[in-house]
Amino acid sequence: MHPFTFSGLPTRVIFGSGTIEAIGSEVERLDKKRAFIVCSEPQKREGERLGQLLGNACVDVYSGAVLHTPVRVTKDAIRATTGAASDCVVSIGGGSAIGLGKAIALRLGIPQICVPTTYAGSEMTPILGQMEDGEKKTLTDPTILPKTVIYDIELTKSLPARLSAASGLNAIAHAAEALYAQNCNPIVSMLAQEGIAALVRSLPRIMADLKDDLGRSDALYGAWLCGVCLGSVGMALHHKLCHVVGGSFDLPHAETHAILLPHALAYNLEAAPAALEALRVATGANDPTKRIYDLSRSFGLPASLSEIGFGEENIERAATLALKNSYWNPRRFDESSIRDILRAACDGRAPNAFHGADCRL
Ligand code: NAD
């Protein structure tokens, strides 16, 4: 075994059904009395319900969270929260609400409690991505990591089918790239394999019945593990491409991940045999890229970037942006390989099968 460094993330996790009822005691546990709740507009009712549970410990509910955490929204929310003199932020929703909560918590130096309702995994990371001047930039700081995460299975049952599937594949992407991260380690690889397996078995159950208890709890558990992977080790080409394509061309986050993942993996796994083996076990398929592509097709998700608004004419600009800052990837790449990956994702064809590794299953 290679030598490695592992730092466990210090977030407190409460997992189960009806766990949202613990919100009051969790705010008290942090010794806070004035919680500012953030959510996105479609989940305003959930935000208000959380406010009712908190009673006097809730100072306001802000429902302006949107995708990619624009800095102008953060500034607007900060004006509201400063007026309310809040001493902690509670986010309920997907990565958009949690991203806004992180941006507020970081700027005001107050703790965040998250109640995630998608599988995006942001609640488990010390990373904040935000849009400013048309570009999405990320920053990593240990203080961004939420203090407490309340996973409530019941709250995920309203997540629509298309979002459930895309968000689940978004979670799988975190774990898949963790398997070949430069700083990967056996603990994170174990979590990644378990997280992917949980999502691969639960997503079809959810697509058959959105309220399936076992499917929903398995998927949320898998998403949690995948989120830990994202927060623990570095990501590579797939995340970089999603970041550039999603942020700069304003595409839906989870679907961008779902479409690009098989193509980015088909490119990278040639150079990452241990990751390929783990993915084979986790997906139960010789060619995990094809398995992920087929799952996505069976869920009725868009196959191509063109279907979600990214046409071939954008490939050149996206490839240039993706090469702007250097970052680690298990396989060398250049502008031409990025163009090939993006072209395949634009076409929506099945990923190229592997040639490099022997098949064991
Ligand atoms: P999202 O938060 O934008 O949610 C999508 C939509 O689904 C929203 O309208 C939301 O209100 C609705 N929704 C969420 N949960 C629901 C539920 N249970 N029932 C009904 N409706 C529900 O989408 P997302 O994919 O969760 O998050 C994407 C954002 O998160 C992006 O901005 C992305 O960059 C960020 N993100 C950040 C990290 C990180 O570590 N920093 C990780 C993953 C994602």
Atom of ligand 1 nearest to the CA of 167: 25
Looking at 3.30.450.90, 3.30.530.20, 1.10.3720.10, 3.40.50.1970, the CATH number of the domain 12-156 comes to 3.40.50.1970
- Mutation probe of ligand 1 site: the residue of 67, 74, 135 with most atoms within 8 A of C-beta: 67
Report pLDDT for 7: 83
For a pocket test of ligand 1, which of 130, 253, 259, 301 has the largest count of ligand atoms closer than 8 A to its C-beta?
A: 253
Backbone angles phi, psi at 148, to 5 degrees: -140, 140
Residue 254 is predicted with a pLDDT of: 97
Closest-CA residue, ligand 1 atom 28, reads 95
- Residue 102 CA, closest ligand 1 atom number: 41
Instruction: Give me ligand 1 centre to Cα 97, in Å.
Output: 7
Ligand 1 touching residue 256 (CB < 6 A): no
* CA atoms of 253 and 256, how far apart (whole Å): 5
Model's pTM, two decimal places?
A: 0.95
Tokens representing 244 are 């550039």
Say if ligand 1 is within 6 A of residue 253 CB: yes
For the chain, domain boundaries:
12-156, 161-347
What pLDDT score does 66 carry? 96
Q: Whose CA is nearest to atom 17 of ligand 1?
A: 159
Residue 222 CA to ligand 1 center (angstroms) comes to: 16
Regarding the beta carbon of 91 and ligand 1, being less than 6 Å apart is answered no
Tell me if 127 CB under 6 Å of ligand 1. yes
Q: What is the pLDDT of residue 319?
A: 95
Is ligand 1 within 6 A of the CB of residue 158? yes
Q: Is 148 a pocket residue for ligand 1 (Cβ < 6 Å)? A: no
Instruction: Give per-residue pLDDT as tens, 276-314.
Output: 999 999 999 999 999 999 999 999 999 999 999 999 999
Q: CATH number of the domain at 161-347, please?
A: 1.20.1090.10
Mean pLDDT per 10-residue section of the chain, whose length is 361 residues: 83 97 98 98 98 97 96 94 88 98 96 98 96 87 96 98 98 98 96 98 98 98 98 96 90 96 96 97 97 98 96 94 89 95 94 54 34
Cα-to-centroid distance, 58 and ligand 1 (Å) = 23
Predicted pLDDT of residue 353: 62
Q: How far is the CA of 141 from the centre of ligand 1 (A)?
A: 21
| Residue of 118, 229, 238 to test ligand 1 pocket, by largest number of atoms within 8 Å of CB | 118
Q: How far is the CA of 336 from the centre of ligand 1 (A)?
A: 32
Please state, as a whole number, how many other Cβ atoms lie within 10 Å of the Cβ of residue 12.
Answer: 13
